[in-house]
Amino acid sequence: MFSYYMNLALRSLKHNPVLTVLMVLAIAVGIGASMTTLTVMHLLSGDPLPGKSTHLFYAQVHSDPDKHRDPLDMLDYRSAVDLWSAHRADRQTLIVDSAIKVRAPDKNLPPLMLQMLSTTTDFFPMFSVPFQYGRSWSADDDARHARVAVISSDLNDRLFNGADSVGQTLRLGDSDVRIVGVLAPWRPSPLFYDVRGGRFAAGDTASFYTAPQDVFTPFNTGLEINDGNFQQFTCWRVPETPGHLENSACVWIGLWVQLDNNAKVAAYRQFLADYAAQQKSLGRFEYTDTRLLSLMQWLDFNHVVPSDVRLQTWLAFAFLIICLFNTISLLLAKFLRRAGEIGVRRALGASRSAVFAQCLVEAGLIGLLGGIGGWLLTLIGLWLIRRQPIAYADLVHLDTGMFVLTFVLAIAASLLAGVLPALRASRVMPALQLKTL
């Protein structure tokens, strides 16, 4: 009977094209608006490292002696180096971000002001960073402050036209480093390892979705090369030399650890607690609060999805509901205008459930057409977002899952909208209709 109902639905839609267009438009506009915002929401709230994120943790201790508050979002230099050097995790990496002037001495190109990440060798395997050429530096390079660097695919394109630049020299500030690796295109969403301070951002967290840094150097190499150019997250005393934070009362370094099972997570938590207690006994810490959050917990803690995106999503769904109410009214009008035909069908043997099913198939077909319209409007909406000056603009696209969801949502919404009109249509009194025909 489904094909029969489909055939009847097609005839019915063709019979009254204006009403059909209105209903399809109502669904399409609602779906377009909600799928545009939902797609952005989906892209911004997804797991940046599926399958691996559950093993990655962000370590925090409370190094501020003056105020009793949550553990700070970053570590002071000594705590960071102490915890990293202990090598209590399966993998661990320090990170600190800074701006630096970059140029290729062999190229006649103007210098670029770029972001550099000073980190340790585990950074690359921990975060599954893909390489196009070469490889990361070694632990030995970390230890001896080797003048080496890994550069992004984008920077490699700009400086070396995408050619294999491994072995080439790059000037960072006033220092030359040798390129040992070039990343393949890599665009985590959000830039999870650099997320911090989200709960103080009042929902303005779009900056968490910027592209990764263009230059990666060994941790100590970066500190030496760019000394005086580092930004603190917060300080409890003003640093003696601005930008030189190694012995300052400031937090400015992140520590990520990889812990491959629950026992290791528990052991690392204990290690952090023991470290805090030890530092308190040494008089360096006042408080012993520590925190170890998994990657997704850390993103959640920092409210990474911008509040305006959340708001837009809610508004779009409210708009979809309004569109659905319009669709309900139009379907009701459409079905009840056919009360005479329904009466005839009932007289000829159609049960209430058959009439209900016929009406619902028609509503579903409207949903399918609305889904096609909604998909096109979603593509337009996402195209418009890509033209906005926002950090995540380049990330916005419709993936297969969201494409399928567009149609599922459109059909589900129209079926939902069709239930009441179909129910009313199926309750049409055939005798009354036949008498009045």
Partner 1 sequence: MLKMTHLSKIYRTEVVETYALRDFSVNVEEGEFVAVMGPSGSGKTTFLTIAGLLESFDGGEYRLDGEDVSKLNDNARSKIRNEKIGFVFQSFNLIPDLNVFDNVDVPLRYRGFKARERAQRIHDALETVGLVSRMKHLPAQLSGGQQQRVAIARALAGSPRLLLADEPTGNLDSLMARQVLDLIESINDHGTTVVMVTHDPELARRAHRSVHVLDGQVMDLQAVSESSKDETPARA
Choice between 342 and 396, CB closer to partner 1? 342
CB 46 within 8 A of CB 299: no
Nearest alpha carbon to residue 178 among 225, 115, 227 = 225
Q: Does 18 bind partner 1 (CB under 8 A)?
A: no
228-236, 260-268, 346-354, 365-373 -> range binding partner 1 (CB under 8 A): 346-354
Choice between 1 and 184, CB closer to partner 1? 1
* Tokens encoding 55: 């093993």
Q: Does 321 bind partner 1 (CB under 8 A)?
A: no
Applying CB under 8 A, among 1, 109, 143, 238 the residue interacting with partner 1 is 1
Maximum alpha-carbon separation in the chain? 97
Torsion angles phi and psi, residue 93, rounded to 5? -145, 140
166-174, 218-226, 287-295, 336-344 -> range binding partner 1 (CB under 8 A): 336-344
Per the listing, tokens 């196009």 go with: 132
Q: Does 434 bind partner 1 (CB under 8 A)?
A: yes
9-17, 29-37, 178-186, 268-276 -> range binding partner 1 (CB under 8 A): 9-17
Residues numbered 88-147 forming contacts with partner 1, rule: CB under 8 A: none
Choice between 387 and 435, CB closer to partner 1? 435
* Tokens encoding 373: 């319209």
**What is the four-CA torsion angle of 305, 306, 307, 309, rounded to 10 degrees?**
-90
Q: Does 400 bind partner 1 (CB under 8 A)?
A: no
Q: Does 349 bind partner 1 (CB under 8 A)?
A: yes
Residues in the chain: 437
Applying CB under 8 A, among 184, 266, 318, 347 the residue interacting with partner 1 is 347
Total site size for partner 1, rule CB under 8 A = 25
Q: Does 357 bind partner 1 (CB under 8 A)?
A: no
Q: Does 429 bind partner 1 (CB under 8 A)?
A: yes
If you write DSSP's letter for every residue of 244-307 in order, what string do you get? B-TTSSEE-BEEEEE--SHHHHHHHHHHHHHHHHHHHHTTS-S---EEEEEHHHHHHHTT-S-H
CB 92 within 8 A of CB 120: yes
Q: Does 300 bind partner 1 (CB under 8 A)?
A: no
List interacting residues with partner 1 (CB under 8 A).
Answer: 1, 4, 11-12, 15, 340-341, 343-354, 429-431, 434-435, 437
